[in-house]
Amino acid sequence: MAWNYNTKGTDDDKATIWDLRQSYIEIVTALMKQLVQARITHNFPLVFDLLDDLHTQVNQKLKLKEKEEYNRRLEQAKQIISKYPEAYLGKNKNAMEFYAVKQALKELEMYLYEIMEARKMFGAKEEAELI
């Protein structure tokens, strides 16, 4: 994804970059909004799916070590989900199991946001254009 306006491209090139950025922003924003709603309602399967979708959008920005760390955290989350499938599916409200699943997914989500912030995906300059 091109984020640099300091290229020597044509106005059409710059317009295409603008369009791509806006589309990307809309996709990521929609995913983040859905993710918050799913987390609030404790719909853990949907949270997991949305995190996977968000990871797909962010993956190209990750460095190798970040990809490895994400995969490590993903495996931890999957192990906890496998250990407490009833809590994951919302069929068991055992507080310890519920919290373990919630925390594992939250850790994964927070890590993605840390990466997004480090890569300045939330905006990097004061003069950034608003939607």
Residue 123 lies in a domain: no
- Higher pLDDT: 60 or 9? It is 60
Least confident of 6-10, 48-52, 80-84: 6-10
Residue 74 tokens read as 């993903």
Domain containing 87 equals 11-118
CA-nearest of 25, 22, 21, 51 to 39 is 51
Residue 72 tokens read as 């490590």
What pLDDT is recorded for position 3? Answer: 45
Q: How many domains does the chain have?
A: 1
Residue 125: band (very low, low, confident or very high) from pLDDT cuts 50, 70, 90? low
What pLDDT is recorded for position 123? Answer: 64
Give the C-alpha separation, 105 to 87, whole Å.
12
What pLDDT is recorded for position 2? Answer: 44
For the whole model, what pTM was predicted?
0.76
What pLDDT is recorded for position 9? Answer: 60
Please write the tens of the pLDDT for every residue from 36-54.
999 999 999 999 999 999 9
Residue 131 lies in a domain: no
Residue 126 lies in a domain: no
Q: Tell me, what DSSP letter sits at residue 74?
A: H
